Amino acid sequence: MADIPIDTNVIVRYLTETVEDSDCRYKGVFRFFEKLETGSLKVFLPDLVLFQAYFVLTSFYNVPRAEAAEKLRRIVNFTGVDMLEKEIVTACLKRLEEQNLDLVDCYLLSWSENNGSGGVYSYDKDLEKNGLNLFPIK
């Protein structure tokens, strides 16, 4: 597992800048991600950072949900990117690309499928429509 985490702003710069138009302060971001893709550099990507990047891309930069999820999924799959729940996060992002559900619902569905819980404590009927049992809250 990589010892050094990556922050949201690095991911957002990589996905919103171009080599031609990039401020000189950020030009190194493209080489940095090439190294992550090949695995010659390793970083730790916390789930929270990835989800914040999704939020920034979709709200501030108006990137369509499916496009933001697809771009982030590609980064998650880079050889040099370590995550605690990489399999769950990958499934969550894939679901975001394909379904009209919010990020948390996609995560809960992916987590529940991966861990075999079969359900969730929730009042959210979208989760139930997508195969999870809603456990009673008493």
Are residues 47 and 84 in contact, defined by beta-carbon separation less than 8 angstroms? yes
| Same-domain check for residues 48 and 66 | yes
| Same-domain check for residues 23 and 76 | yes
pTM: 0.89
| Same-domain check for residues 18 and 86 | yes
| Same-domain check for residues 66 and 121 | no
The total domain count for the chain is 2
| Same-domain check for residues 59 and 27 | yes
If you search the block for the tokens 């597992």, which residue do you land on? 1
Per-residue pLDDT of the chain (138 residues; tens, 9 = 90+): 778 999 999 999 999 986 667 666 777 899 999 999 999 999 999 999 999 999 999 999 999 999 999 999 999 999 999 999 999 999 999 999 999 999 999 999 999 999 998 899 999 999 999 999 999 898
First to last CA, the chain: 40
Neighbour-count burial of 111, counting CB atoms closer than 10 A to its CB (0-12 exposed, 13-18 middle, 19+ buried): middle
* Strand 81-82 relative to strand 119-121, pairing: unpaired
> Which residue range forms the structural domain that includes residue 33?
1-98
| Same-domain check for residues 109 and 94 | no
